[in-house]
Structure 1
């Protein structure tokens, strides 16, 4: 049976590959516009070649494609700026809520993480997530520490330690950025949605392996689902790898029946649109080569 790690790598690679192909096409089209170079295998240039130069339809298609490309790039730029600003504010808020003594106590009790890679904040709701891209930080709330017993808290920390080591917050943001920028390609949205599930299942497997039992993780999941821990009135949240936000049903199913395959379905409209788009892209590429 294919592991969640292999499946998640395939999904991540698929989305990134699609983004690179589209960016490559845009780059070739920009080269054609700026330098007048006729670049082979460029879909945008091929579309223009179907119309007589400087005709009404030629100019209309040119404006439409330029507007489409600018719109797509603007979405990406806006999301990048938003994420940077939100993450900067969010880190500042987390720092202001940090309980230094409790943080130090937990670091000593669970000596499995690099120094200063975990903080505990004052918050009544039970929260656990990993934030940041270059140096991910695990954040736990005082409400979580009070709610869970020793084994459950260890399972949560091991779960978040996997997210931290695997840079899941960064990967989730990249997939979200691709899905929002390339909204016209359904496979990118499917990749983002399913990677969120897969990375949670991987982190759960890691927590079970490190703690030696499903009991701690299962108890923590049930308690946090019942408590409905949500971060409110703190800051506009950036992309996070959160313990209790994603795929609860899948994760509980994996705990009860670890050998059962969990189907991650791709909706029929997404398949049809994506296959049609792929065939159209291949056809236009072949025609551009001739």
Structure 2
């Protein structure tokens, strides 16, 4: 299966699973608070296996409610944090805008139909922010740090994120991971998706430039660069996947193996299922 297909499949499954779980949680809460009649519900089904007169039934019900409240609290906290951080850094970026360089960059790449914003900063800054109306942020330090072709490779990488609406997708997967991180395989899936979103952006650069040379130079220099700033508001060029990305440009003919079903997350997930099954079976006995 092609990496692009794998990436889309993982994102789709994450979205489907999280939507299903949130819907089931909402119906379970509505049943308790509003006495909404349910034909079938995952949590209610698990409770139905327990005798209502047993302590196990009451404990399990409390556990489900705590789990649901924890999940919803984590999701709302992440969304609120993202809104706050986005507003904060948008204000900072616009306050530090280098108008002259911004106009030059937008004019130079006007055929990309992309919004660029150059901020006055000596550090390396390259990221795509904005969920529905993304834009590419780069620093003046970046433009002076690399050659024209190297800078183009960085901008192409961010352009791929821009065209693919990756800030929105990364935000969705981060919310899922934060809210349902107690399911280890969810965290593993999100990590897998984020890694491949970066690798696919680099493949887009290589295809457009018909060479790995400039991108390889950038990645190798970044691996030893201290003046790199990361932000929690978008998809940025220098992140934790850089080792896979360096491997990809150094050995372009070799397929990259990104672990998906790691042993520890799978075993933990199976353990959680086993514990829940034991509770239900114990109540039935």
TM-score using structure 1 length: 0.87
Aligned equivalent of 2:27: 28
Unaligned runs of 5+ in 1: 285-290
The Cα offsets for residues 220-277 of structure 1, whole Å up to 9 and x where unpaired, read as 2222222233227xxxx43421111132121111112222121222321212333566
Runs of at least 5 residues in structure 2 that lack an aligned partner in the other structure = 280-285
**Whole-Å Cα distance in 2 between the matches of residues 274 and 38 of structure 1?**
31
1:125–1:8 distance in 2 versus 1, CA, 3 Å? same
Q: CA deviation at 1:90?
A: 0.7
Closer, same or farther: CA 38–272 of 1 in aligned 2, 3 Å: farther
- Partner of residue 158, structure 1: 156
Give the direction of change, closer, same or farther, for the CA distance of 1:66–1:81 in structure 2 (3 Å limit): same
Aligned to 2:146: 148
Deviation at 1:168, TM superposition (A): 1.0
Tell whether 2:268 aligns with 1:273.
Answer: yes
CA distance in 1: counterparts of 2:143 and 2:158, whole angstroms: 14
1:32-43 correspondence runs (5 A): 32-43=31-42
Separation in structure 1 between the aligned mates of residue 253 and residue 23 of structure 2, nearest angstrom: 41
Instruction: Give the aligned partner of residue 288 of structure 1.
Output: none
The residue number in structure 1 matching 2:229 is 231
Among candidates 183, 186, 203, match of residue 205 of structure 1: 203
Deviates more, 1:49-58 or 1:257-266: 49-58
Structure 2 counterpart SS, 1:130: strand
Q: Distance in 2 between matches of 1:57 and 1:190?
A: 31
**Worse overlay, 193-202 or 15-24:** 15-24
Q: Figure out how many residues of one structure are paired with residues of the other and give that number.
A: 279
Judging changes above 3 Å, is the alpha-carbon distance between structure 1 residues 254 and 27 closer, same or farther for their aligned structure 2 residues?
A: same
Range moving further from structure 2, 217-226 or 76-85: 217-226
Q: Is the 8 A contact 2:216 2:250 kept in 1?
A: no
- Scaled by the length of structure 2, what TM-score is found? 0.88
RMSD: 2.5
Question: SS where residue 226 of structure 1 aligns?
Answer: coil
Cα–Cα, structure 1 residues 280 and 25, in superposed 2: closer, same or farther, change >3 Å?
farther
- Which secondary structure state, in structure 1, belongs to the residue aligned with residue 110 of structure 2? coil
Aligned equivalents of 1:56, 1:220: Cα separation in 2 = 61
Distance 1:163 1:101, change over 3 A: same
Q: Which moved more, 1:270-279 or 1:258-267?
A: 270-279
